[in-house]
Chains A and B, each alone.
Chain A
């Protein structure tokens, strides 16, 4: 899956979950930019991605992500290897 398609899918999930956020959804986006994206919001987002895209993240992977770009790269790596 290419990164543009992943970002499009993520934007859909992201806006549904964090519906107060109206700014752009880009690779540079971090939790600091989004009011609702706290530690619990992060867990909800990651599990939503798992369920929607049929993936599984480790706790370490979930913890270490620093921005949306890293999340896109992680999803791309996982879909490429069929994890």
Chain B
């Protein structure tokens, strides 16, 4: 499945073998996942696989089981989405009641999403773009804020790959923050990272040179207002990284972006100038196919506050 050089990707090979043991029906999908992948992409995926394995630790078999479970959950959401043209939920209250307030469901969901960083090509591609294009463009000593750090992989890349002045992350959920802390510890992050329970809509005043906002917009009733707040928190010459999926039904997604341009347009209307963008189509599809069939596309945007002329 990984080609003739699987020894070059030992962690990925191991993860793949274990995943197929608990989810044999996924062979066809995973075949497509790696078909024709470049060496560069395989090296990136091995890096992400290593991080996922570190975070999972002894819980790796459970994480892979939970990924199989999540894949089936997403198929149900997909069925609803294709039939109705809408996400099943449209309010934060519903997502809170059905998903966020259920610790058992949330644990499985977070585990499944962790493994998806390796198995969903768009997730892996966005991490690659974040490292190669976003982090490489930040100036030394930058004050960094991530909102909704979740599995911790973006925060880890930020701590490891660049030279930050400070690292802060906010989440509304204490449980999620504990998971992020455990993930950072498991990956051996030594830089101090301040994790704080904070609702973005009640955020304290502050100034950051870099803000990461990955896979949050689609969970909000008011994504536009959230982006406007980020503009107030960002230094005049700061950088914003936004990642949001298009046509991507999930148990707790409530805001539906139908095209990549809708994401970009919202970022621009919120007062930002878009400096760079990257569209990562779902596994097995080209961007053109994903647009035609209205499949999931991860949209990453690098932006800075628009300067008044």
Determine whether the beta carbon of A47 is less than 8 Å from that of B83: yes
CA of A74 to CA of B75, assembled, Å = 20
A72 within 8 A of B: no
Interface centre among A32, A39, A46, A50 (most CB of B within 10 A): A39
Chain B 241-285: CB-based contact to A (< 8 A → 1; otherwise 0): 000000000000000000000000000000000000000001111
Q: Which of A17, A20, A39, A47 contacts B29 (CB 8 A)?
A: A39
CA of A48 to CA of B69, assembled, Å = 25
Q: Which of B28, B71, B75 contacts A43 (CB 8 A)?
A: B75
How would you classify the secondary structure of chain A's contact residues: helix, strand, loop or mixed?
A: helix
Q: Which residues of A contact B146 (CB under 8 A)?
A: none
A-B contact count (CB 8 A): 36
Q: Which residues of B contact A36 (CB under 8 A)?
A: 284-285, 289
CA of A67 to CA of B207, assembled, Å = 58
Determine whether the beta carbon of B28 is less than 8 Å from that of A32: yes
A81 within 8 A of B: no
Closest to A20 in B: B289
Q: Which residues of A contact B284 (CB under 8 A)?
A: 35-36, 38
Determine whether the beta carbon of B78 is less than 8 Å from that of A38: no
CA of A38 to CA of B79, assembled, Å = 14
Q: Which of A31, A38, A39, A43 contacts B82 (CB 8 A)?
A: A43
A3 within 8 A of B: no
Chain B 16-29: CB-based contact to A (< 8 A → 1; otherwise 0): 00000000000011
Determine whether the beta carbon of A43 is less than 8 Å from that of B78: yes
Known: A17-B293, A36-B289. A62 touches B79 (CB 8 A): yes
B32 within 8 A of A: yes
B53 within 8 A of A: no
Determine whether the beta carbon of A38 is less than 8 Å from that of B75: no
CA of A17 to CA of B293, assembled, Å = 7
CA of A9 to CA of B295, assembled, Å = 23
Closest to A32 in B: B28
CA of A17 to CA of B79, assembled, Å = 16
A40 within 8 A of B: yes
Q: Which residues of A contact B285 (CB under 8 A)?
A: 36
CA of A39 to CA of B79, assembled, Å = 11
B96 within 8 A of A: no
Determine whether the beta carbon of A43 is less than 8 Å from that of B282: no
CA of A68 to CA of B29, assembled, Å = 19
18 CB-based A-B contacts, threshold 8 Å: A20-B289, A35-B284, A36-B284, A36-B285, A36-B289, A38-B29, A39-B71, A39-B75, A40-B78, A43-B75, A43-B79, A43-B82, A44-B82, A47-B79, A47-B82, A50-B83, A59-B79, A62-B79
Closest 4 CB pairs of A and B: A47-B82, A43-B78, A43-B79, A47-B83
Beyond A39-B75, A40-B282, list 5 extra A-B contacts (CB 8 Å).
A31-B28, A35-B284, A41-B293, A43-B75, A47-B79
